[in-house]
Structure formats: structure tokens, C-alpha cells
Amino acid sequence: MLKWKRLTDNFITIDVARESNGEAFYWTTLYYYKGLVVDTGCPHTAEEAADFLEKMELDVKAVLLSHFHEDHCGGAYSFRKRFSVNVFAPSKSIKIIRNPPEIPQYRQVVWGQPLPVEVKPLKERMKFGELMVTTIDTPGHSFDHVSFLIDDKLFIGDMVTNQNPIIIMKQEDYIDLIDSLRTVLSLEFEAAYGGHGIWDRDSIIRTLANILKLREKVSTLATEGLSAEQIVEKVLSNVPKKVLQIEEQSRFEWSRKNLVESLLGHMHDGN
């Protein structure tokens, strides 16, 4: 499935998702901006997205990847082959993208197994014609995560997916994420364009404030001797049914407990 919207001349949002019985599994957004494609969607939607770019007769000069997760880098193989352009990725995950490990079965169903693709490392500043791209390290959602400042547009991948986080992947480091949110708030930008929404500065400020408030609550309960499981029951028990389904279907690769442990610094400390 594919939906798109033209924001301005040479700026298009493209939402993609695998379809089942007319319903989308999980929407992810990629962007076309002045010849650059920022993120690529997942393997299951790669050909449809590439077909769209061709049909719109868009001039694709390069592909920029914010991180190695398959719903963002999974279309890179098809895009590179179809448009004969360079794909740039964070240097920390070059090896993973060139030789992707086998992902869990549920992720293969929803997004698809990414294919190996030759990528070049991103630089802090890169020029494409008259367009200057600044790459900013913004780890947290993943160890390699970066954002891109292009003109006054900030492309943030999955740095913000929900202003009130409830459930996260096991590898996410919210101590790093807090620093990354502070980093982008020090920049000048008109809006932040992510894989799951477009956010203004106030939205990012609220997201940071909500995370800090939750971290304080979680830390207080941990100091009182509560375990991560008990903290989940105390502060994250009243959640939508979908959250419980995601935990079960992912075998707790996604969970509320991950969020609690990440806020307590377990991922950051390597525990």
C-alpha cells in the first residue's frame, strides 16, 4: 500500500505498508526532497515505492538512511538497482546493511527480510548539487541512528514515534535518546519529519518532557525496591489491547518492560 502527499514543490511524503485483506500492517514514511530520498520503507513495499518515484518522474540523486532497521533501509537494494544511485548509511551500521542478519519471523511477515546492499558511509556534511546535508548523530532508538538537516527541514527517522512512549524494542537506549532530543532542540528547523509523523518543535519539547517525567517516576519506584515488572504494573498497566498483542507477537522483543529498563539505564550501562 502507498499513500503520498506533496508538501511543496520537490518535497513529497510517501507512506508505505504491507497490505493484508485491504488493511495496512504498519505504516512507515519516507521522503523525497529535492532529489534526495530519505529512508526507503521496507522490503515488502520497495518495488511499489520505486514504481511511484518513476511514475512521478522524480530525479533521484541519492538515498540517505537514518538507521539500519528494515522498515527504513529495506528498500535500499531496490532503489539502488532501479535508479543507479549511491546509498549512504551511518558508518556504525555499514556492515549490518551490507550483510543483514536474519530477522525474527514476525518482522519478516510485517516488513520483510532486507537484502544485502552496497552502501557508502555518511559524512557530517555532504553536498548534492547546491543542496547541503548535515548529518547529526542521534542514537537512542538504535545505536547507529542519525538525523539530517537539509535547508530548514529536519529528518529524524524514528527518533520520535510517540509523544508518550509505552512500548519499545529491547535494544533502545533512552538515556541516549534524551541526549539526542536535546541535541535536535538546539538546532534551527521549521519541522521534524519522521518515519511516523511530522513534528513541530513544541511536539519534540513535549516528548522530551514526558520521557523525563516518566523516567523520574520509574527511578523513584526502582529506588523503593520495585522490580521492572512491578513498575510496569504500577505505571504502564492501563494500555491499549494492541500493546499487549505486540508484546506477545514479538515474543517481548517489543515491551513495556524494555521501556522501564531503558529509562533505568540498563541498556546504556550494557546490562
Which pLDDT tens digit goes with each residue over 210-265? Answer: 999 999 999 999 999 999 999 999 999 999 999 999 999 999 999 999 999 999 99
Which pLDDT tens digit goes with each residue over 158-180? Answer: 999 999 999 999 999 999 999 99
Crossing angle of helices 256-263 and 201-223, in 10° steps, is 80
pLDDT at 54: 95
The superfamily (CATH) of domain 2-213 is: Ribonuclease Z/Hydroxyacylglutathione hydrolase-like (3.60.15.10)
Quick one: 170 exposed, middle or buried, by C-beta within 10 A (0-12, 13-18, 19+)?
Answer: middle
pLDDT at 157: 97
Which pLDDT tens digit goes with each residue over 93-130? Answer: 999 999 999 999 999 999 999 999 999 999 999 999 99
Q: How confident is the model at residue 267 (pLDDT cuts 50, 70, 90)?
A: confident
Radius of gyration, alpha carbons of the chain: 18
pLDDT at 270: 63
Pairing of strands 11-16, 191-194: unpaired
Q: Are 186 and 136 in contact (CB under 8 A)?
A: no
Reduce the secondary structure of the chain to three states and give it as a string. CEEEEEEECCEEEEEECCEECCEECCCEEEEEECCEEECCCCHHHHHHHHHHHHHCCCCCCEEECCCCCHHHHCCHHHHHHHHCCEEEECHHHHHHHHCCCCCCHHHHHHCCCCCCCCCEECCCEEEECCEEEEEEECCCCCCCCEEEEECCEEEEECCCCCCCCCCEECCCCHHHHHHHHHHHHCCCCCEEEECCEEECHHHHHHHHHHHHHHHHHHHHHHHCCCCHHHHHHHHCCCCCHHHHHHHHHCCCCEEHHHHHHHHCCCCCCCC
Q: How confident is the model at residue 21 (pLDDT cuts 50, 70, 90)?
A: confident
**Confidence (pTM):** 0.95
Which pLDDT tens digit goes with each residue over 35-53? Answer: 999 999 999 999 999 999 9
Rounded Cα distance, 69 and 41, in Å = 10
pLDDT surpasses 60 at 271: no
